[in-house]
Every structure is written in structure tokens, then in C-alpha cells.
Structure 1
Amino acid sequence: MLRVAAVKSPKIKKIENSPPASPPPSPVQLARAEENRIIALAKLHQSRTQGLFVNVGPSWMKVLEPEIKKEYFQSLCKFIASERSKHTIYPPTDEVFSWTRMCTLNEVRLLILIQFLFFSVGLCFSVKPGVQRPPSLANMYQELSKDIPEFKSPDHGCLTGWASQGVLLLNACLTVRASQANSHKDKGWEKLTDAVIKWLNSNRSGLVFILWGAYAQKKGSFIDQKKHCVLKGVHPSPLSAHRGFFGCHHFSKCNDYLVQQNKKPIDWNMLPAELMKENINIQN
């Protein structure tokens, strides 16, 4: 009699339940992670630039970081460090890049450019509360009063209210030796601020560029006037304002163009006497 071998049933492996997949990070978590990354990066650059590249608005890092790695910026760092060891230099180190904190990259609507820094803050034409407003700014207020009927001239020169609305108040040179205007000319700052203007020109559209004076107009000569509104005119300095600055209507022309681009116009009256809170949004 034949014996039939028993067939063993194959062992069925017990399938264990896989752990549930982790949910993707939320926008808030991603923003926090990016902010932490940028803060760490900024600390690294601070040590590599002899303390010059500090308190930089996070949104501007992608524009400025490629520049600070270049040889010209390293030379600039050495120059500024030497200058601060021997002279009084304005603005203080923590205010050199205040324009990047007051006006985030994604919110820029208007850029006003001047040749060099006169005063001890990082916003062109602006002074701290309690400091007498400069003559050029007084002339700007005078033109505003005629150009914008509802404008009321304040008794101070603090312009952080404009900066907080997307007005980039940019000096071509970001530092200066006390009482020696243009003393830091041709040391490297011009290359950095050129890079800022070129980035805005190439990567944004529908911006307003106000270029007062021959220097500013030459520096901004490459701006694409098919993409942006470029307003050129005489500098508001008392030495030249009477030659065409008064009556230029650049402030109303700026707002007319912004409205045409479906952008919010500048509230020129928004000039609180106290410093506005810095805007450090990391959005691009």
C-alpha cells in the first residue's frame, strides 16, 4: 500500500501593520525651520565678515548672500573694521542693514536711491526721532504738500513709516566716516547695492524707481522701463531743488502707477514720530 506523504502547508508570515506615515510639515513648521536655518547662517556670516554682516532681514538673504562671499566684500569688511577702530563711523554696526529689516524683499513697491549716506541711520534721507530733519527732506515735504493735497508735513525726519509700506530707502554706500560725506566711496558698497537693484529689476515687475540726481540716474540706467516705472529728476538738495525738483510731482506719479499695477499706493502721511517696529518676515 502506497503511503502518501503529507503536504505541509506553507507558513504564512504574519504581516504586521506598518506605522502610519508622518504627516507632512505644516506651513508654520516649514517657515520656522527656514527661519532657524537663516538665523544660523547669519551667525556664520557675522563671524566671517568681521561683524559687518549683522542684523540682516531674513528675506534679503538670497539676494545678499552671494555677494558677501565675493572678494570685494571681504576687502570691504577689512576696510570697515579698520575705519571703526580709528574713527566714528555711521551708522552703528547693527543699523547698517536696517533697510532690509524695515522693508522686506517681497513687499518692495518703491525704491528711492541716493548717492551716499549723510546721516546716522541706514535709511536714506531719514533721521532718528529728535534729530533735526535734513534740508533735502524738508524740500521733499514741501513738494509733497503741493503734490499730495492731504499731506501734512511732520515736525520730524523719521521715515520708518514709509519703509514699513514697501519703500526701500537705499543709499549707494551704506557707511560713512563722521563729518566726511562720501568717505567710503568706491570701497565695495556700490557693488552690493548694484546687486540689490539688479535683482529687483530682473525678478520683480511693476515697481517704481525714483532716481534723483545724476549719480542715481547713472547707477539705475539699466533698469527695464518696460517692466517698471522710472522717475528721474533733480536731487531735492537746497543746492539743486529749485532747478526742477519742485513741481516734479513724483509722489503722486508713483501712486498713480502703483494703482495701475493693482498695488496699494503709498500713504505718504504715515510718518509716526517713533521708530516703526521692524518687519522681519522671511517670505520671499
Structure 2
Amino acid sequence: MDTRETPLFELPEPTPDTTAFPFGHGLAAAVAGGYVAADWAEALAPVEGNMVSLARELERRRSSGERILPAPPDILRAFSRPLSEARVLIMGQDPYPTPGHSMGLSFSALPQVRPLPRSLKNIYLELHEDTGAPIPAHGDLSAWADQGVVLLNRVLTVGAGAAGSHRKLGWEAVTDAAMSALAARGGPLAAILWGKDAQALAPALGPIPIIASAHPSPLSARHGFFGSRPFTRANELLVAAGGAPIDWALPLAVPRA
């Protein structure tokens, strides 16, 4: 998501959410609850205090009536698969601000979301042109995450209807630590950076090879995103480094829970 994504329809009336933020009692509790992989918890240990403070601030905001997105169990979803299995990093900006859309993975939307966010539609168009993969009817990118694609937003929460509202809240220190951990771990690994905000993070990624292009937003997709072939280029980098390619084809439909 980026700040150019705005709610697609009138926001529904919020329902009270008292679910605890899974990082409020530290990373050991988040690992025990299945929210964070153990090796990611080790990598994020230097910013554990920041995360506990973030949980307190989010709770304060929620108590004041702000609706926090995504749902608390999904906030750390990008860290739920092992760091050791990471193969591609795709950086986003912040979660979709429309309630019921964001799911804790950058650019990914909950399976029931219709219509799809506009940036994601453009990602699917490029996916099809680049790889020939059919375009799914849903926006759930979990199948990529399951293969080691780290779908990480720069900022991991947002206020409903207010894109970019949690920038400078403190998440940047957490995602800085995540990028440092990826750089230290090394390859086979490739980073896909769409847009200037993501590309500004390139120095933090050290030796990781980078695929950079315009953002898939409707405002910029025709100025360098379309035709950039990020998916096949990422696979070429992985194979060249001795790794296995990603199967970028997504299930055409997500089974109902």
C-alpha cells in the first residue's frame, strides 16, 4: 500500500475490538502465540522495547476511538514465516486504510475484498504479462509468503480511513531492524522496491540485489512499472545465486474458511 491508496467506499461503522496486541508483552510471547518466527524474534530483539511501547501507544489510540488496522493478530504477519526461508523482499509503505482490506502483508488484501485495491490490480497485470500466470479473483498473496516472499510494509499499522497516519509512530525502527537482518543473512535473496519511498531504503539492504521501478499505483504504473518484469528478474537473481525460483502463480480462488 502507499499513501495514494484511499478508502474505496464509505467506512462501515466500527465494531469494538479489544483483542490484545500480540507484541505488547514482548517477543517471547509473540513467538509462543505463533505470531512471530523464532529467528525473526532474535533479529528483532534490539527493538523489542520499541514494539512494547508501540503496543501501549496503539492501545491508547484505540481507547480514544481510533480504529487500528490491520487486526491485531495480523500486524506482525510478515514475520510469521522464518527469516531463514526468506528469498524475496517486497517493500510496501503502510497497510490499506479501508477496514476489512489489510491483512499484514504488503500489497495483499483479505480474500473477500472486492473490488481489488488499484495498485494490486496493476501488480496482477504485470504478473500476467511477465510470467503468463492467470490473474486471480482475490487479493490474498499468502501463497507468495509461504514460499519465502517477505511482504513487508515500512509501517505496520494505520488508522482506518487515514492513509499514512502511523508514519513516525515508531514502526520505522522495527522495519529498519528487519532489513538489517535480511542484509546480514545474505542470499540467495532479492529485493523488489517499487517507488521512490521504497527505493530510499536501498542502502539498508547492503549487498542484496535490488529490482527497482515505478510504483504500481495508478498514478505511476505507466511510467516504469508496467514492463519492468520484476517477477522473472527476481527469479533470475535467485537462480544465479544458487537458489530456487519463486512460483509466482497464485491460486485462482481462495477456499472459504
Q: Could you state the TM-score of these two structures normalised by the residue count of structure 2?
A: 0.81
Counterpart for residue 116 of structure 1: 94
Match of 2:237 among 257, 263, 267: 257
Structure 1: gaps spanning 5 or more residues = 1-43, 278-284
CA contact (8 A) 1:158 1:275 kept: no
Length, aligned pairs only: 228
- Which residue does 1:137 correspond to in 2? 120
The structural deviation recorded for 1:107 is 0.7
Range that drifts further, 167-176 or 140-149: 140-149
**Runs in 1 of length 4+ with deviation above 4 angstroms?**
51-54
Is structure 2 residue 210 aligned with structure 1 residue 230?
yes
Contact 1:90 1:177 in 2 (8 A): yes
Structure 1 distance, partners of 2:82, 2:93, is 22
Q: Kindly tell me: are residues 174 and 276 of structure 1, through their superposed partners in 2, closer, same or farther at Cα, counting changes over 3 Å?
A: farther
Deviation track 1:188-231 (CA, whole Å, cap 9, x = no partner) reads: 1011001100111122223101111111111222322xx32101
Residue in structure 1 matched with residue 54 of structure 2 by the alignment = 76
What's the CA shift string for 1:235-283, capped at 9, x where partnerless? 0000110111001111110111111112111111133633799xxxxxx
State how far apart, in whole Å, the 2-side matches of 1:68 and 1:79 are.
14
Partner of 2:16: none
For 2:227 and 2:160, how far apart are their aligned partners in 1?
A: 33
Deviation at 1:58, TM superposition (A): 2.5
Deviation for aligned residue 1:52: 8.5
| Aligned ranges 1:174-193 → 2 under 5 Å | 174-193=156-175
Partner in structure 1 of residue 36 of structure 2: 56
Aligned-partner SS, 1:82: helix
Can you list the C-alpha shifts for 1:142-183, whole angstroms capped at 9, x where unaligned?
11111113x111111010000000000000111111010011
Letter of the aligned partner of 1:259 in structure 2? V
Question: Distance in 2 between the 1:172 and 1:95 partners?
Answer: 15
User: AA paired with 1:146?
Assistant: E
- Which residue identity does 1:143 align to in structure 2? E
CA distance in 2, matches of 1:276, 1:204: 37
**Structure 2 residue matching 1:139: 3-state secondary structure:** helix
Q: Distance in 2 between matches of 1:48 and 1:206?
A: 30
Structure 2 unaligned blocks of 5 or more: 1-21
**Residues 52 and 77 of structure 1: CA distance in aligned 2, closer, same or farther (over 3 Å):** farther
Between the aligned partners of 2:222 and 2:170, the Cα distance in structure 1 is 33
Larger Rg belongs to:
1
- Do 1:147 and 1:252's aligned partners in 2 also have CA atoms closer than 8 Å? yes
Structure 2 partner of 1:66: 46
The answer to whether the aligner puts 1:164 opposite 2:142 as a matched pair is no
- Aligned residues of 2:179 and 2:204 also touching (Cα < 8 A): no
Residues 1-284 of structure 1 aligned to structure 2 (within 5 Å): 46-47=24-25, 55-69=35-49, 72-85=50-63, 86-101=65-80, 103-118=81-96, 119-132=101-114, 133-149=116-132, 151-224=133-206, 227-271=207-251, 273-274=253-254
Whole-Å Cα distance in 2 between the matches of residues 276 and 104 of structure 1?
26
How far apart are residue 48 of structure 1 and its match?
5.5
Give the structure 1 partner of residue 8 of structure 2. Answer: none
Residues 23 and 52, structure 2, Cα contact 8 Å, conserved in 1: no
Taking every aligned residue pair, what percent have the same amino acid on both sides? 37
* C-alpha RMSD over aligned residues: 2.5
The residue identity in structure 2 corresponding to 1:111 is: L
Mapped to 2, the partners of 1:221 and 1:47 lie a distance apart of 32
